[in-house]
Amino acid sequence: MSDIQELMALVVKFTEERDWDQFHSPANLAKSISIEAGELLECYQWSDDADPAAVEEELADVLNYCLLLASKLGLDPIEIVKRKLAVSAQKYPVEKSKGRSTKYDKL
C-alpha cells in the first residue's frame, strides 16, 4: 500500500467513524473542495505573507476533501495526476512553454 493510499484510508476511516459518509456525495465533496480552496485563498487576501499555520490548516482541508472525492469515485490520486501531467506535457511542450505564465501566451 502506498503512502497516499494509507492517507486516503485514514481520511475515510475518520469520516466513517463519525458517520459523515452520508453527507459525502461527489457533488458535496466537490463543493467542499471549492469552499476550502476559498478559505486557503483568504489566507492571502490582504498580504502575500500569510500565517503559515493557517495556510497549512486550509491546505490540509483541501487535500482531505480531494482524497475523499478520489476515494468516493474509486480513483487513484497518483494515477490521475500522472495521466494529467502526460496530457499537459503534450499540450504544453517545454520548448514552447518554458517561462510562459499562462496558456494564453502565444506558443
Supply 82's cell numbers.
Answer: 500522472
3-state DSSP assignment of residue 36: helix
b/e code 12-21 from CB counts within 10 Å (16+ = b): beebeeeeee
Q: What is the pLDDT of residues 59-95, one digit of tens each?
A: 999 999 999 999 999 999 999 999 999 999 999 899 8
Q: What is the pLDDT of residues 27-71, one digit of tens each?
A: 999 999 999 999 999 999 999 999 999 999 999 999 999 999 999
Residue-range domains of the chain with CATH: 3-75 (1.10.287.1080), 77-107 (no CATH)
Q: Is the pTM of this model over 0.95?
A: no
Categorise residue 102: left if φ over 0, alpha if ψ from -120 to 50, beta otherwise: beta
